[in-house]
Chain A
């Protein structure tokens, strides 16, 4: 099986390109000869080779940032760097700036936004019908779930609530099914926090927790 081992980028000046990649972007120089310089950052290897003509090709490198403005400003403070575009909205979930570095190197600085930053609540992966209050309840409780676990929790709670509705031969998930599913999917030691969160949202969970460890 063939696989990519490096990206080849023709440059006119090895020293300038290597310095930018290593000193600014954190690459390590692995090998330097008259024919090629290989730099590597652990996940990407770039092989710099001498440019054979006057036309400069581009090497686009994408940089993910938690703060697009700060990172863009920091990069622009470096020598031999200029702004191409700033704060372009690619999609509601992604914002980009493009910066021109030396020797044809273009840096795309991107910031991705999660559902909390966007203040949206993704839909539940529903197969059955849901009462509005059941859907809102689950969505609100998911807001309290750490982001890293939320997608898995969203799927698990939705599935469980629908299976509970099925036990009643129903095709519509009720608030009772939803709360019961939340209780079953949430680890027992977190039940007090769940009960409290439900109560804060005006839902009395006690009837649905009957028979369950609290």
Chain B
């Protein structure tokens, strides 16, 4: 048992190292690093593979795609004990699996009544393994500046843990799939019906569905690509705004595409293990914001985001930039023409507007928003790959209808305390890190850097200067960075030292 645990721990440690490496490398070596990480993640079922699938997103051309499409299934004999008696009695034939995923695998089968079904069987022992790995996953590195921007890491962990454990119970997935099937009405969408009488915590039985993979659908005619794009967008709007529950797992393995008897493209949506529930006030606030920006009506975007669950204190750092931020985020909805995804340039635009401060936006967002953003991002990627332009706002309007729009317009945004909205100003977040070095009264070095760089002073002060400071003074540069991370990036004198004929002063303003 102990060697196994050690092996697991070592495996996670290697994954952590590979993730760090992936983050640091430049594009020529990035693909190799991706492949290394993908191999490590694929080396075990469960949590590691799940992480790899999230990293794969819906792009078809990265190394993590192997985790989506080519995982080796277990033989039927290894999983068949999970099938319940009613199902075994109803089965006429069952095939070996050709589709394995992180938590289970799918077998094609035929019932005695002639119905073709897909049986998803959970891997034996996977729940225990997931629980153990969730404990070990604390070893994963804090990818990105989680600390510096005060990310609530515990919230993220809680969401991840809750979601993964939820995904291991196929009865919950069965109920979700039934709910989606009963409530959603989107042109071109097909949700396979489930057979509750054969389902259990470890087995999900649904109608067998066939179709092409997304990469193949991207080569179809413009009409069919437009139909698929419309279905994907309307699915997102309807599930988010009308029903308040969004399919949160947009990787390509969860979609099949086919033509119906009328010759129109049909999207088959699979796997309802990961969904995001969005409470009415949050979705009404988002719709209110979209509507106001589309119609050019004045709106307090800050309060809308707070109503969506954003942390007011962190978001307050961006208060003056909110109008510009909304223009970027809502751009497809504001377009007077069908929107071509290549026009968006979302990351570049956000970087240009916010610079390092974009991390405040990410840190301010509620942890469960991560799954919703993943759904949004998935659809955006899919539309870009389909290479179709669609009219976002008219389609949204069609989906939500006038009544819900009116409800959103009338929705009273909850008040934001003056403390919250002003906290950033009262703490007056520093704008610049200033470094000045003088010699005989003459300035020899004058640098103004983004204030956020103060959280990593060691990397910006040359080694030779650091050595002089260490030798001649009691200034603890690493300690100063830690203090800034801990107490916030507020205006302050960091240090001022004499180094022989030179004077070095570093401060935040």
- Interface residues of chain A, those whose CB is within 8 Å of chain B, are 127-129, 159-160, 162-169, 171
Q: Across the A-B interface, how many residue pairs have beta carbons closer than 8 Å?
A: 53
Residue of A nearest to B388 (CB): A127
User: What is the CA–CA distance of A128 and B187 in the complex, to the nearest angstrom?
Assistant: 16
Residue of B nearest to A168 (CB): B398
Given contacts A169-B234, A171-B230, contact A162 B222 (CB under 8 A): no
User: What is the CA–CA distance of A49 and B227 in the complex, to the nearest angstrom?
Assistant: 67
Given contacts A127-B337, A128-B338, A159-B336, contact A166 B226 (CB under 8 A): no
Is B502 part of the contact surface with A, judged by Cβ < 8 Å? no
Task: Categorize the interface residue count of chain B.
Answer: 20 to 34
- A selection of 11 A-B contacts at a CB cut-off of 8 Å is A127-B389, A128-B389, A129-B226, A159-B336, A159-B337, A160-B336, A165-B394, A166-B390, A167-B397, A168-B398, A171-B223
A33 to chain B, nearest CB (A): 51
Instruction: State the majority secondary structure of interface residues on B.
Output: helix
Residue of B nearest to A162 (CB): B338
Interface string of B372-397 (1 = CB under 8 A from A): 00000000000000001111011101
A153 to chain B, nearest CB (A): 14
Given contacts A159-B336, A163-B337, contact A128 B226 (CB under 8 A): yes
- CB contacts (< 8 Å) of A169 on chain B: these are 187, 230, 234, 395, 398-399
User: What is the CA–CA distance of A128 and B222 in the complex, to the nearest angstrom?
Assistant: 8
Is B340 part of the contact surface with A, judged by Cβ < 8 Å? yes
Cross-interface CB contact of A167 among B223, B227, B394, cutoff 8 Å: B394
Q: Verify A163–B336 contact, CB threshold 8 A.
A: yes
- Interface residues of chain B, those whose CB is within 8 Å of chain A, are 187, 222-223, 226-227, 230, 234, 336-338, 340, 388-391, 393-395, 397-399
Q: Verify B337–A162 contact, CB threshold 8 A.
A: yes
Q: Verify B187–A127 contact, CB threshold 8 A.
A: no
User: What is the CA–CA distance of A166 and B227 in the complex, to the nearest angstrom?
Assistant: 12
User: What is the CA–CA distance of A162 and B335 in the complex, to the nearest angstrom?
Assistant: 12
Q: Verify A127–B234 contact, CB threshold 8 A.
A: no
User: What is the CA–CA distance of A127 and B234 in the complex, to the nearest angstrom?
Assistant: 18
- CB contacts (< 8 Å) of A165 on chain B: these are 391, 394
- CB contacts (< 8 Å) of A167 on chain B: these are 391, 394, 397-398
- CB contacts (< 8 Å) of B390 on chain A: these are 127-128, 166, 171
Q: Verify A162–B226 contact, CB threshold 8 A.
A: no
* Given A160-B336, A162-B391, 17 more pairs with CB closer than 8 A: A127-B388, A127-B389, A127-B390, A128-B226, A128-B389, A159-B338, A162-B338, A163-B336, A164-B394, A166-B393, A166-B395, A166-B398, A167-B397, A168-B398, A169-B395, A171-B226, A171-B390
Q: Verify A127–B230 contact, CB threshold 8 A.
A: no
- CB contacts (< 8 Å) of A160 on chain B: these are 336
- CB contacts (< 8 Å) of B394 on chain A: these are 163-167
User: What is the CA–CA distance of A128 and B226 in the complex, to the nearest angstrom?
Assistant: 7
User: What is the CA–CA distance of A169 and B234 in the complex, to the nearest angstrom?
Assistant: 9
A122 to chain B, nearest CB (A): 17
Residue of A nearest to B337 (CB): A159
User: What is the CA–CA distance of A169 and B337 in the complex, to the nearest angstrom?
Assistant: 14
Residue of B nearest to A160 (CB): B336
In this complex, the member of A128, A129, A165 whose beta carbon has the largest number of chain B beta carbons within 10 angstroms is A128
User: What is the CA–CA distance of A183 and B395 in the complex, to the nearest angstrom?
Assistant: 22
A138 to chain B, nearest CB (A): 15
A158 to chain B, nearest CB (A): 8
B188 to chain A, nearest CB (A): 10
Q: Verify B391–A129 contact, CB threshold 8 A.
A: no
Q: Verify B398–A129 contact, CB threshold 8 A.
A: no
- CB contacts (< 8 Å) of A127 on chain B: these are 337-338, 340, 388-390
User: What is the CA–CA distance of A8 and B222 in the complex, to the nearest angstrom?
Assistant: 53
User: What is the CA–CA distance of A13 and B394 in the complex, to the nearest angstrom?
Assistant: 69
Residue of B nearest to A158 (CB): B337
- CB contacts (< 8 Å) of B187 on chain A: these are 169
In this complex, the member of A162, A163, A167 whose beta carbon has the largest number of chain B beta carbons within 10 angstroms is A163
- CB contacts (< 8 Å) of A164 on chain B: these are 394
By Cβ-Cβ distance, the 9 closest A-B pairs, closest first, are A166-B391, A166-B394, A127-B338, A159-B337, A127-B389, A167-B394, A171-B226, A169-B398, A163-B391
Q: Verify A171–B398 contact, CB threshold 8 A.
A: no
User: What is the CA–CA distance of A159 and B393 in the complex, to the nearest angstrom?
Assistant: 13
User: What is the CA–CA distance of A168 and B394 in the complex, to the nearest angstrom?
Assistant: 8
B387 to chain A, nearest CB (A): 11
- CB contacts (< 8 Å) of B226 on chain A: these are 128-129, 171
B181 to chain A, nearest CB (A): 20
User: What is the CA–CA distance of A140 and B103 in the complex, to the nearest angstrom?
Assistant: 59
User: What is the CA–CA distance of A159 and B335 in the complex, to the nearest angstrom?
Assistant: 10
B344 to chain A, nearest CB (A): 15
User: What is the CA–CA distance of A166 and B394 in the complex, to the nearest angstrom?
Assistant: 5
B82 to chain A, nearest CB (A): 42
In this complex, the member of A127, A160, A167, A168 whose beta carbon has the largest number of chain B beta carbons within 10 angstroms is A127
A170 to chain B, nearest CB (A): 9
User: What is the CA–CA distance of A109 and B363 in the complex, to the nearest angstrom?
Assistant: 65
- CB contacts (< 8 Å) of A129 on chain B: these are 222-223, 226
User: What is the CA–CA distance of A145 and B230 in the complex, to the nearest angstrom?
Assistant: 33
Residue of A nearest to B390 (CB): A166
User: What is the CA–CA distance of A160 and B393 in the complex, to the nearest angstrom?
Assistant: 12
B338 to chain A, nearest CB (A): 4
Residue of A nearest to B224 (CB): A171
- CB contacts (< 8 Å) of A171 on chain B: these are 223, 226-227, 230, 390
User: What is the CA–CA distance of A90 and B69 in the complex, to the nearest angstrom?
Assistant: 53
- CB contacts (< 8 Å) of B393 on chain A: these are 163, 166
User: What is the CA–CA distance of A127 and B386 in the complex, to the nearest angstrom?
Assistant: 13
- CB contacts (< 8 Å) of B395 on chain A: these are 166, 169
User: What is the CA–CA distance of A213 and B389 in the complex, to the nearest angstrom?
Assistant: 31
B231 to chain A, nearest CB (A): 10
- CB contacts (< 8 Å) of A162 on chain B: these are 337-338, 391
In this complex, the member of B227, B389, B395 whose beta carbon has the largest number of chain A beta carbons within 10 angstroms is B395
User: What is the CA–CA distance of A166 and B338 in the complex, to the nearest angstrom?
Assistant: 9
User: What is the CA–CA distance of A127 and B337 in the complex, to the nearest angstrom?
Assistant: 9
Residue of B nearest to A155 (CB): B337
